[in-house]
Amino acid sequence: MVRLRPNLLHYSTLYRFHKYAAVNDWQQRVVEQFLAHKAAVSKAQHSGSSALPSEAPTPTILTFSPQPAYATGRREIDSLTPQQVEEMKTPMPAPAKWDASNVADILPTLRGGQITFHGPGQLVIYPILDLRAVKSGLWPKGLGVRDYVNLLEETTIRTVGRFGINATRTENPGVWLTEGAKGERKIAALGVHLRRNVTSFGVGLNVATDLRWFDRIVGCGLVGKGTTSLENELPEKDNPRDQIQQISKWWVEEFVRGVWGPEGSYESWRLGDLSQSDNEPSNWHAPGQVLGRL
């Protein structure tokens, strides 16, 4: 029996807190697979060869919750003052919400935008796909950049809506809550990078994040804007802390539906050591130690 290839592969490391740098390295390895395939196709077409490269990598999503880290945009890290760096590296005092480091790493990334925080209790979602190659009944010509950003926001809004929370867009990037006495507050940050239409980075949804980390920065450069989480917005009896894996699957379901429609398919897998690989190049899987299905 021939195994049908899914539209998307979802990998999760949510059962452990990896260093953000390790996750970012894994992401770049997957991006390079996409870029190498595009380069091989282009070379074959220009040479007039009838032998095209093997199938393109499968669109991929990584969901994770890392050790504490402040991630900057590609040109921002040199603008941080020594005082800012010292404050960000100061250990977070107890009580800590999670059994993780209480000292944050600081590192630059390739994405646009300004500094943000990633850490335990946050659902970080990094889709990696070729926007122009993703063709479906909904997107017969592939996705444009604006289409893609809207899709990330709408997917997050729908996922948060499963808890009865009315999230929305504003003039600022990300997903926001605007109702109630707390004022305008961001529940999910958004930052992407594209190279030859191949995406990286994505969404950071605060599920049960320790919001004190955000007090040390001006998140995404937006002065005077608050930050919140699902845990902060929901009654204690509805605490989403133990639902982060399920929330990640809801997000992936919504994303697949938004790209391929109700007939879209995906598989979810659990990753172990991100630096290892159990996969032969001919396999569908991205790099990393694949531990089994979710």
Nearest by Cα to 119 from 18, 45, 196, 26 = 18
Nearest by Cα to 187 from 148, 214, 147, 151 = 214
Judge whether 142 is annotated as a binding position.
Answer: no
* Catalytic residue status for 107: no
The DSSP code sequence of 242-285 is GGHHHHHHHHHHHHHHHHH-TT--EEEEEE--TT-----TTSSP
Judge whether 94 is annotated as a binding position.
Answer: no
Angstrom distances, CA of residue 279 to CA of 271, 284, 287: 12, 8, 7
Judge whether 121 is annotated as a binding position.
Answer: no
Judge whether 115 is annotated as a binding position.
Answer: yes
Judge whether 161 is annotated as a binding position.
Answer: no
Judge whether 285 is annotated as a binding position.
Answer: no
Angstrom distances, CA of residue 7 to CA of 10, 156, 265, 269: 10, 20, 5, 14
- Angle at 61 (CA atoms; ends 55, 62), nearest 5 degrees: 125
- Which residue in the list 23, 30, 152, 220 is annotated as catalytic? 220
Joined tokens for residue 258: 């938004």
The crossing angle, in degrees rounded to 10, of helices 244-260 and 145-161 is 140
Judge whether 112 is annotated as a binding position.
Answer: yes
Judge whether 34 is annotated as a binding position.
Answer: no
Residue 95: is the preceding peptide bond cis (ω within 30°)?
A: yes
Judge whether 111 is annotated as a binding position.
Answer: yes
**Which amino acids are annotated as binding site, given as ranges?**
111-118, 189-191, 202-204
Please identify every residue annotated as catalytic: 220
**Which amino acids are annotated as binding site for substrate, given as ranges?**
111-118, 189-191, 202-204
